[in-house]
Amino acid sequence: DADVTQTPRNRITKTGKRIMLECSQTKGHDRMYWYRQDPGLGLRLIYYSFDVKDINKGEISDGYSVSRQAQAKFSLSLESAIPNQTALYFCATSGPTEQFFGPGTRLTVL
Amino acid sequence: EDQVTQSPEALRLQEGESSSLNCSYTVSGLRGLFWYRQDPGKGPEFLFTLYSAGEEKEKERLKATLTKKESFLHITAPKPEDSATYLCAVQAAGNTPLVFGKGTRLSVIA
């Protein structure tokens, strides 16, 4: 089984819709992250959480919110999706020496 | 502000033609430098963590080295299956989130 799973893997939605991307991990790590990746811009950090009670904004948090439901679960929400949120989204979790990424969610906002 | 710059942006090699990828960084107290491999549409896959200048790590045809200002990923006698984007990231002291470079897209031609 994969260490980090993301659902859905692909999603097409319309402008203005609310979308939730879910992430779960089996590594037992406290730290979890959400990134988006766009061609030419690399990986950019949206939100991160160092434990269940800790939520921090990354460099591009506007238009996004997160929920840390448990140590193993970290969800990303787009309250009102817009076309420039079309991207590849990755969840990750980190331990003392490594950071593990999920397989990604390809989101398209029409 | 912590920064990572990777060069070149893209590199095309013939099979067997060895080369190096560069990762230059500025960080307020380096806790670790990370190398990842990413295949198109997939999540980054962890390769190495380097912690101090002079450190080297190897895995198959890949060897990563670290100085106080940069890291190199040396690829010896590459094969077409080494084609991927290689990402470099740094973590500053204090366990802050990783800061990623934009990557080097490597193509190895048979």
Residue B10 burial (C-beta neighbours within 10 Å; 0-12, 13-18, 19+): exposed
Q: Cβ neighbours of residue B109 under 8 Å, at least 6 residues apart?
A: B12, B13, B14, B15, B80
**Which pLDDT tens digit goes with each residue over B18-69?**
999 999 999 989 999 999 999 999 999 999 999 999 999 999 999 999 999 9
- Contact between chains at B44 and A98 (C-beta distance less than 8 A): no
- Contact between chains at A104 and B41 (C-beta distance less than 8 A): yes
| pLDDT value of position B68 | 93
Task: Compute the distance between CA of residue B25 and CA of residue B44 in angstroms, rounded to an integer.
Answer: 20
Q: Is the pLDDT of residue A1 over 80?
A: no
- Contact between chains at B44 and A101 (C-beta distance less than 8 A): yes
Q: Report percent pLDDT > 90 for chain A.
A: 91
Among chain B residues, CA nearest to A47? B97
Tell whether omega for the bond before B44 is within 30 degrees of 0, i.e. cis: no
**Which pLDDT tens digit goes with each residue over B86-106?**
999 999 988 789 999 999 999
How many contacts (CB atoms, under 8 Å) link A and B? 42
| pLDDT value of position A70 | 94
CA distance B43 to chain A (A): 5
- Contact between chains at B103 and A101 (C-beta distance less than 8 A): no
Contacts of B90 in chain A (CB under 8 A): none
Closest CB from A58, A88, A99 relative to B34: A99
